[in-house]
Amino acid sequence: MTHQFHPTTLREYDIRGIIGETLGPDDARAIGRGFGTKIVEAGRSTVAVGYDGRISSPILEHALVEGLNSSGVDAIRIGMGPTPMLYYAEASIPEADGGIQITGSHNPANYNGFKMVFQGRPFFGKDILELGRMAAAGEWASGNGTSTSREILGEYIERLIEGLAGISNDELSRLRIGWDAGNGAAGPALEALTARLPGEHFLLFTEVDGNFPNHHPDPTEEKNLEDLRSLVAAKNLDFGVAFDGDGDRIGAIDGQGRIIWGDQLLMIYAEDLLRMVPGSTIIADVKASKALFDRVAELGGKPLMWNTGHSLIKSKMKETGAPLAGEMSGHVFFAHDYYGYDDALYAAIRLIAASSRLGKSVTQLRGEMPAMVNTPELRFQVDESRKFAVIDEVKARLKAAGADVDETDGARVTTADGWWLLRASNTQDVLVARAEAADQKGLDRLMSQIDDQLAASGLERGPQAGH
């Protein structure tokens, strides 16, 4: 027996597709067979399985478990919940040797996919391509695994609350916070968490609904934060927190309605952490503000710019021993007093704790950041076969011109005005750009440099591609 995956589904960081078109139960079963075989080859036998709130998730979960079992692997089914709850299960259940979460993350409602962890490390890139090769060849182990269900939400909530150790209940009871689950999988966990926290908590859209009837669950897009912003303003709250569809990315709004972007949250976390663990390495992706890297250095930390992608960041954290990392997209990774994976619920807890330990409100911390003028993440459609070649052409031209180029992930160019970035997406047929300057005129000059480079490679900054 063999299986062929649709060529678009096996991605760099995860497996993702459109239900009924490029992804279905047969794919889930094959993923279970392949991942299970890898577990057996490693001399192990048990995998934790969870799923998000999408309509297609239970069907895929059933098929995935079938695949694991027929490879001789036992499945511990933790049910519906956020991706970080699955990561927690894999990290905390002694017999769990790996974990798979069925999730479409922040993609449209008709998408779904799989995020995997193998013996505590991210399973991505070549690992995922190997599942495709094994399926095409039918190279799967055979056996009869078992399937058991385990309730883990309660333990997970208790572990989150440990992030507030040392913060007084009196201080916490004065807080008034807004929370927006976006009808994603974090909703029930959020209800359970806030029920345990002192203070006043105002919750939006905690009912899990895979159709996402209120707004799309992607906190990196400003329009998706409007409901939270309105709530914070109407109730005069201290700040607000939003989650993506599977609860591994955080968005935030301060008490004045200003967005606190991923790199700005990392500035807050870094200030708190570097007081506790001086001199630490702190990692951020290439899309992050120069202000963040400068601030980490100013606080005595070691800033490290790294490739975009949650799996790549997690791997670099293990390599360097960094206690904290983050991405513009809202993935925040705490290895300090936690497990090193991206957990937006835990990141929210650490924001409360950081504000307390630093003795400043979240609004004050946001207000003290340097005012920069920057673009959001811009995406330009480009043929899949061209995208990496274009970046190589850009780098060659820039180096020939003597430009200040960082090649960590694409080309990040520093000029007197600020910096701009052009990189190829690992998951879509797009180029990603971002620019940041001290003022609008400087930003305009940076954007014209991006336009010039695209034009030199026969492209133009036309209609932007979506997520």
Q: Can you list the positions of beta strands (E) in 81-232? A: 98-102, 111-118, 121-122, 147-149, 176-180, 200-204
The answer to whether residues 17 and 71 touch, using CB atoms and an 8 Å cutoff, is no
H or E stretch covering 240: strand 239-243
User: Counting beta carbons within 10 angstroms of the beta carbon of residue 420, is it exposed (0 to 12), middle (13 to 18) or buried (19 or more)?
Assistant: buried
For 135, residues 6+ apart whose C-beta sits below 8 A from its C-beta are 2, 3, 4, 5, 30, 33, 34
User: CA–CA distance from 142 to each of 28, 70, 119, 264, 386 (Å)?
Assistant: 16, 6, 21, 49, 41
Q: Which phi and psi angles does 35 have, rounded to 5°?
A: -65, -40
For 436, residues 6+ apart whose C-beta sits below 8 A from its C-beta are 289, 290, 372, 373, 374, 375, 418, 419, 420, 443, 446
Q: Which residues pair with 404 in a beta bridge?
A: 414
Q: How far apart are CA 264 and CA 261, in angstroms?
A: 5
User: CA–CA distance from 283 to each of 112, 181, 193, 217 (Å)?
Assistant: 29, 27, 28, 25
Q: What's the number of CA atoms in the CB half-sphere (13 Å) around residue 34?
A: 27
Radius of gyration from C-alpha coordinates of the chain:
22
The answer to whether residues 307 and 432 touch, using CB atoms and an 8 Å cutoff, is no
Cβ atoms within 10 Å of 400's Cβ, excluding its own: 8
Q: Which phi and psi angles does 54 have, rounded to 5°?
A: -70, 150
Choice among 105, 280, 289, 329 that is catalytic: 105
| Residue owning tokens 């290439």 | 286
User: CA–CA distance from 363 to each of 238, 241, 252, 266, 275 (Å)?
Assistant: 7, 13, 11, 15, 20
Q: How far apart are CA 137 and CA 4, in angstroms?
A: 9
Is 105 in the active site? yes
The residues that are catalytic are 105
